[in-house]
Amino acid sequence: MNIILLGPPGAGKGTQARHLVDGRGMTQLSTGDMLREAKDSGTEMGQVVADVMAKGELVTDEIVIGLIREKLQGEKTAGFIFDGFPRTLAQADALGALLAEQGESLDAVIEMRVDDEALVERITARSTCGNCGEVYNDKTKPIPADGVCSNCGEKAEFKRRADDNAESLKQRLMEYYKKTSPLLGYYYAKGQLERVDGLGDISEVQSAIAGVLDATAS
């Protein structure tokens, strides 16, 4: 099963993707992770990525599609979670064509819907474990008093992103909605768009996503 997770910064896509990786054996394809991995891989495609990044240029859609093609051809998995791609209609078309070329399909596009003000409040209280990336929140999931991460069990430095402030977040949300609104219509027209409440408890969101996947598979 191949799915896309859509949602603004801080909606919890990474957290939910990890649950799907651990619980269903799926593979998360994050554009940023793939680029970093390729840059250090020493492969022909990796050298292309390294050269582009060294020049400070933007990585083209063709390069990202090439990296995704390598993953589709090279990994045996229960399905892929596309995180951070596509972001434009052109990318959506390219991904659809690639999946068809590889004999694959896109089974669901899940939008994690949020209330913007509540999201800003959540993110400005957010910290992450410097070891494993586990997310904490000052109000709902405080950093353990002993400084030991509850996920990796290590003594950790807990970090806040410099741009996790109200003004930066509002700009990032505006940019997200400008780019993503057309995608919502695109996948809705294809009958693939499903929506879940992204502001529920982690377990509630996890259950809602599971319900979508189980209904799609049946």
The phi, psi pair for 105, rounded to 5°, reads -135, 160
Active site residue 13: yes
Active site residue: 18, 113, 126, 160, which one? Answer: 126
212 in Cβ contact with 108 (< 8 Å) = yes
CB neighbours of 66 closer than 8 A, spacing ≥ 6?
45
Active site residue: 18, 69, 141, 172, which one? Answer: 172
Active site residue 172: yes
Active site residue 160: no
Cα–Cα dist 49/62, whole Å = 11
Active site residue: 69, 71, 87, 195, which one? Answer: 87
At residue 30, the 3 state secondary structure works out as: strand
Active site residue: 71, 161, 179, 195, which one? Answer: 161
Cα–Cα dist 76/85, whole Å = 20
210 in Cβ contact with 22 (< 8 Å) = no
Active site residue 122: no
- How far is CA 171 from each of CA 116, 119, 182, rounded to the nearest angstrom? 12, 13, 18
Tokens of 184: 């919502």
Catalytic (active-site) positions: 13, 87, 126, 161, 172
